[in-house]
Structure 1
Amino acid sequence: MSHPRYFVPHAASAAEPVPSDASAIAHVVDVFHLDARHLLEQEWIVGLDAVGNVHVVPASQRDLLPVETRAQLTHHEVASGRTPRRIAAAELYFFAVELVEHPSDAEGFNDPVYLYGHLSGPWPGDAPMRVPGQLTVTRGDVLSGLVHGAAEAFHYVQTPESPAAPRGYHALLPGDRSERLAEGRGLVLAWPAVPPELQVSNASNGPMVARILHDVLTQLQEDAHANGGPAALARMELPVPSRAMAIADLEMRGYEVKGDVAILRRNHPGLLTRMAEWLRAEKVKVPTEAGAPGFLEVARAALSALPGWPSESERVLRARVRPGGSAPVPTSPGIPAVAAPVTPRPLPPRAPPKPPRPDEWMKDFLNAHAASHPGAPQPKLTRTKPAFTPPSTPAKPGRPDWMADFGAAPAAPPASTRREAPASKPSPSGSSASPAKKPDWMSDFED
């Protein structure tokens, strides 16, 4: 399997084939036209099965989709009001992002960001493969990919659990140098993947996109404060994905929240605690909460202030995409291949889906980064599933439950059956019995 230059596969994980099957797609995540050189332009459907594996099928197999999936695709086409965008690429890879690592000791503003997940491809191809690994891009690549892809986000039906219409966001990222991108190679279409157990009726990823953008923008703002600019990045008012979690964090740091203001409580004993309180602000503003659309607007403003942006790779990459309904991307003339008629064959029975793969392989990359930078601060991680600690249940009055493991205590014998111990006989000398010899361990306490 060939990989993009900036993708590193996991050494201990073998690549596996991608058996794309339209009838196995449970959720659609993207639709686009692929304008590949020497091939006829074709529309493709990207979807996920019940365990989160990617399936890429031509739109000509639309009738093979399950009824619910076909209804999902129809809703997107009507609700978005757009025809699928066109991507001019000789090869295209798909990358399901499962974890994002933000190095804390990098220098500069547009620092590298490590994306972990499963890469599938290339398409079009005879034998696409899937392998886990690490894709390295920059902060600007992440922000720009999500900002430009927002207009083409997949529209899902609103559910009672979502306050707004859910969306499926994706980002076109550079997987190779600019000269390779100009040839239509090394393009990676990435989307933050939601764990299958969190997918209720769709594969929307708005909350995870908000967390990724929040962490990237926070790193940019911290660097702007540390380096004295740019002022536009330092003055950004960043929202938070969850205001309740932000308030809980302020309270743990010793603040008392009153409305939109948090006031520091300076009543903690101890010299070290008081010194730490002196270094904190007396009052801080409680940040507002925003979803993915709000963070995308902040990211758009941050890109305009990012030094050295757009890069050459960014300009080449965006030139390969045209919004739906526009003219195709101009490419060198080629001889279009005539599609040979394919005789429909009955689909063979599918094997049962594999269980979800563990993510232990990600620790190998994280440990390697930590070993190469000893003593550096811990990097910030953005996970697909937010960490949650269940609240402890209050103790119940009465006998604790753990005592039941030892069984019921033996009942005391009735008084009538008790036997009185015989009285001790006096010693022949008439004096009381001498005390027993002390155990050896008592001598350890004697002088």
Structure 2
Amino acid sequence: MNLPRYFIPHAATPPEPVQSDASEIAHVVDAFRLDSNHALEPEWLVGLDALGGVHVVPASERGRLPASALAQLTHHEVASGRTPRRIAAPELFFFSVELVEHPADAEGFNDPVYLYGHLSGPWPGTSPQRVPGQLTVTRGDVLAGLTQGAADAFHYAQTMESAAAPRGYVALLPGDRPDVIAQGQGLVLAWPSVPPELQMGNASNGPMVARMLHDVLTQLQEDAGANRGPEALARMELPVPSRAMAIAELELRGYEVKGDVAILRRQHPGLLTRMAEWLRAEKVKIPLEAATPAFLELARQALAALPGWPTEAERALRSRVRSGGGSPPVSAPRVTSPVPQRPLPPRAPPKPPRPSDWMQDFLNAHAAAHPEAAKPRLTQAKPAAPPPAAKPGTPSWMEDFGAKPRPAAPSPGTRREPSAPSASVPSKKPDWMSDFED
């Protein structure tokens, strides 16, 4: 298995063979046509099973899809009104992105970004394999891959849980050098994954894509402000994917939210805390909340202002893709109730190790290589809930002294003095106890 040059497999996890089966697909996530003299099937479908495993099957097997997956594919074809995009390549790799690491204290603007997940492929192939590891790309590659692929995003039927019609976004990323990409080799289809427990009738990944774009744009804006970079990046007003999460983070940092403004609570418990407060703004405006389309538009604006963009690799990559033809219908069909799902047969439990185990090896290696660097920003497929905020006016370090010490046990031969009644135990016997003494 010849892996893309910029993909590093996890050394302690051997690759495992992939057996694609159309009947096991629970959600369809992509459809494309492969322009190659070696591929017998021009159109291909990408789907996920109940455990998140990737299946790539020819479109001629759509009749073997479960009823729910076939309904998703049919809805996408009608709602999008487009034919599948064409990719000129003899083979492709499919990468399920589960974690994104944004290194801090980088030297330039279009800096590397580390994507962690499982790489499957090559497709089509006689013996595709699945291996966990790290794919290294640039910030511009992430922004361009998602914005360029937005036009061919997968359309899902609207459900009760979604405020707007959900979408599934795939980014075409360079996995090799520009000269290799120009020959159609090293192309990687990256799918920002959604954990199976968070899939509500479909595999839409809009929230994960919004978090990825937000974190990349935040890093670009911080670098532009610190290094007197492009004015368009430094002055860009960024929203947040979740306003509730933004408010929770501000409260953890010692701010008190009043309307659309967060005001810093002055505590002054010591010199170090006062110095930390001086470095923070007295008032912070709480940013607005935005959905994925707004972040895609901001990503397009950022690419226009990014120095040195497009790169040679980007030009070679886009020359291999031709967007699908057609235009969406005037009124896309809308489903007000979830599509009934066909029950799936029981599946075997997943094999260890879990993704979080091997990802930590890469994170630890990066931290050891740059021990003085600031902590990187992480974009997770499953957003972590913020820890509970500390009580107002009480520094978090004082909570370590809040628990009362447990009284020591008396040594042998020592007379134990009667203690005073506890505040939680009444000194007088309750009346109902006398019923058991008769």
Shorter-chain TM band: 0.7 to 0.9
Give the equivalent residue in structure 1 for 2:120.
120
User: For residues 366 and 253 of structure 2, what CA distance do their matches in structure 1 show?
Assistant: 30
1:64 maps to amino acid: R
1:195 aligns with 2:195: yes
**1:303 offset after TM fit, Å?**
0.5
Give the equivalent residue in structure 2 for 1:50.
50
Relative to 1, partners in 2 of residues 1:283 and 1:321: Cα closer, same or farther, differing over 3 Å? same
Residues 236-245 or 354-363, more deviating: 354-363
**What are the equivalent positions in structure 2 for 1:426-441 lying under 5 Å apart?**
none
1:70-109 superposed Cα distances (whole Å, 9 cap, x missing partner): 0010000111111111000011000000111111132101
1:369 aligns with 2:366: yes
Relative to 1, partners in 2 of residues 1:352 and 1:248: Cα closer, same or farther, differing over 3 Å? closer
Relative to 1, partners in 2 of residues 1:89 and 1:351: Cα closer, same or farther, differing over 3 Å? farther
Give the equivalent residue in structure 2 for 1:155.
155
2:376 maps to amino acid: P
**1:356 offset after TM fit, Å?**
6.2
2:248 maps to amino acid: A
1:309 aligns with 2:304: no
User: For residues 6 and 237 of structure 1, what CA distance do their matches in structure 2 show?
Assistant: 33
1:81 maps to amino acid: G
TM-score (norm 2): 0.81
1:382 to 379, 398, 404: 379
Residues 31-40 or 217-226, more deviating: 31-40
Aligned to 2:118, the other structure's residue is in SS state: strand
User: For residues 66 and 387 of structure 2, what CA distance do their matches in structure 1 show?
Assistant: 37
1:355 to 350, 358, 378: 350
1:181 aligns with 2:181: yes
Give the equivalent residue in structure 2 for 1:133.
133
**1:295 offset after TM fit, Å?**
0.8
Residues 272-281 or 296-305, more deviating: 272-281
**What are the equivalent positions in structure 2 for 1:97-116 lying under 5 Å apart?**
97-116=97-116
1:62 aligns with 2:62: yes
- Indicate if the aligned counterparts of 1:209 and 1:292 stay in contact, CA closer than 8 A: yes
**What are the equivalent positions in structure 2 for 1:12-411 lying under 5 Å apart?**
12-40=12-40, 42-266=42-266, 268-325=268-325, 352-355=347-350, 357=352, 358-359=354-355, 360-388=357-385
- Indicate if the aligned counterparts of 1:99 and 1:383 stay in contact, CA closer than 8 A: yes
TM-score (norm 1): 0.80
1:208-231 superposed Cα distances (whole Å, 9 cap, x missing partner): 111111111111111111111111
**1:196 offset after TM fit, Å?**
0.9
**1:311 offset after TM fit, Å?**
0.2
**1:363 offset after TM fit, Å?**
1.1
How many residue pairs get matched? 377
- Indicate if the aligned counterparts of 1:51 and 1:356 stay in contact, CA closer than 8 A: no
Larger Rg: 1
1:133 maps to amino acid: G
Aligned to 1:361, the other structure's residue is in SS state: helix
1:154-211 superposed Cα distances (whole Å, 9 cap, x missing partner): 0111111111111111100000011111111000000111111111200011111111
User: For residues 93 and 308 of structure 1, what CA distance do their matches in structure 2 show?
Assistant: 27
Give the equivalent residue in structure 2 for 1:329.
none
User: For residues 26 and 158 of structure 2, what CA distance do their matches in structure 1 show?
Assistant: 17
2:221 maps to amino acid: Q
Relative to 1, partners in 2 of residues 1:84 and 1:353: Cα closer, same or farther, differing over 3 Å? farther
- Structure 2 unaligned residues grouped into runs of 5+: 327-344, 390-422, 426-432
User: For residues 112 and 272 of structure 2, what CA distance do their matches in structure 1 show?
Assistant: 36
1:373 maps to amino acid: H
User: For residues 381 and 317 of structure 1, what CA distance do their matches in structure 2 show?
Assistant: 26
**1:237 offset after TM fit, Å?**
0.6
- Indicate if the aligned counterparts of 1:112 and 1:139 stay in contact, CA closer than 8 A: yes
1:381 maps to amino acid: L
Give the equivalent residue in structure 2 for 1:331.
none
**1:372 offset after TM fit, Å?**
1.0
1:278 maps to amino acid: W
User: For residues 255 and 381 of structure 1, what CA distance do their matches in structure 2 show?
Assistant: 23
Residues 100-109 or 67-76, more deviating: 100-109
2:316 maps to amino acid: V
Give the equivalent residue in structure 2 for 1:403.
none
- Indicate if the aligned counterparts of 1:37 and 1:89 stay in contact, CA closer than 8 A: no
User: For residues 41 and 49 of structure 1, what CA distance do their matches in structure 2 show?
Assistant: 22
- Indicate if the aligned counterparts of 1:46 and 1:56 stay in contact, CA closer than 8 A: yes
Aligned to 1:362, the other structure's residue is in SS state: helix
**1:269 offset after TM fit, Å?**
4.2
Relative to 1, partners in 2 of residues 1:366 and 1:190: Cα closer, same or farther, differing over 3 Å? same
- Indicate if the aligned counterparts of 2:224 and 2:230 stay in contact, CA closer than 8 A: yes
RMSD: 2.4
- Indicate if the aligned counterparts of 2:174 and 2:186 stay in contact, CA closer than 8 A: yes
User: For residues 353 and 76 of structure 1, what CA distance do their matches in structure 2 show?
Assistant: 30
- Indicate if the aligned counterparts of 2:161 and 2:200 stay in contact, CA closer than 8 A: no
User: For residues 353 and 88 of structure 1, what CA distance do their matches in structure 2 show?
Assistant: 37
2:350 maps to amino acid: P
**1:286 offset after TM fit, Å?**
1.0
User: For residues 231 and 187 of structure 2, what CA distance do their matches in structure 1 show?
Assistant: 33
**1:377 offset after TM fit, Å?**
1.6
